[in-house]
Amino acid sequence: MESKSSDENCNNPNSELHPSKLIMASHFLRALFRIQHTTTDSSFAGRSRKIRRAAYASMAYSVGTKRAWSSALLRKLRSRSRLRFPNPRRAKYAALPGRPRVARPQQREMDQAEALRELVPGGTSMDDCRLLEETADYIRCLSTQVRLMQAIMESVSF
């Protein structure tokens, strides 16, 4: 895996191990062009959904199958493109109904671990140790993707 480009602030040697911004940029831009040329007459929300899905897809595609979260994300995206489900992600963020929030530290930690599992793709089938590792990689890639999209915005609009 290539390290981050030098213009990024690398404050941690551990954060070097993820796909470079250029690889993610190439995938994402290619997907953006594809969206722009093929779906010219769809609605605003539909196109933004497509772009968002393209962002996650390019992110996962750049990482490949080296990580559990990227494989799970790719699987989910491919199955979703076939089934055409609306995104149920927002519902997951809410607390589970019918489960009283106990203030005990163990219960709180378990709640947090479950919340983390729902956030990170593929996290439901991981133990805590692996979950933390995948979370770290996912955060790295997500932040890289966000920075990439901001850079695209910057370059497109001026």
Residue from 3, 11, 57 nearest 34 by CA? 57
Footprint of another protein on residues 64-103 (CB under 8 A)?
89, 93
Q: Please tell me the distance from the alpha carbon of residue 8 to that of residue 24, in angstroms, as a whole number.
A: 14
Query: What letters, b where the CB count within 10 A reaches 16 and e where it falls short, cover 82-119?
Result: eeeeeeeeeeeeeeeeeeeeeeeeeeeeeeeeeebbee
Judged by CB under 8 A, which stretch of 68-76, 78-86, 94-102, 144-152 contacts another protein?
A: 144-152
Site string for another protein, 7-36 (x = CB under 8 A): ----xx-xx----------------x---x
Among 1, 10, 22, 146, binds another protein (CB under 8 A): 146
Residue from 17, 31, 4, 36 nearest 147 by CA? 4
Judged by CB under 8 A, which stretch of 6-14, 19-27, 63-71, 72-80 contacts another protein?
A: 6-14
Footprint of another protein on residues 97-126 (CB under 8 A)?
105, 108-109, 112-113, 115-116, 119-120
Judged by CB under 8 A, which stretch of 63-71, 72-80, 94-102, 138-146 contacts another protein?
A: 138-146
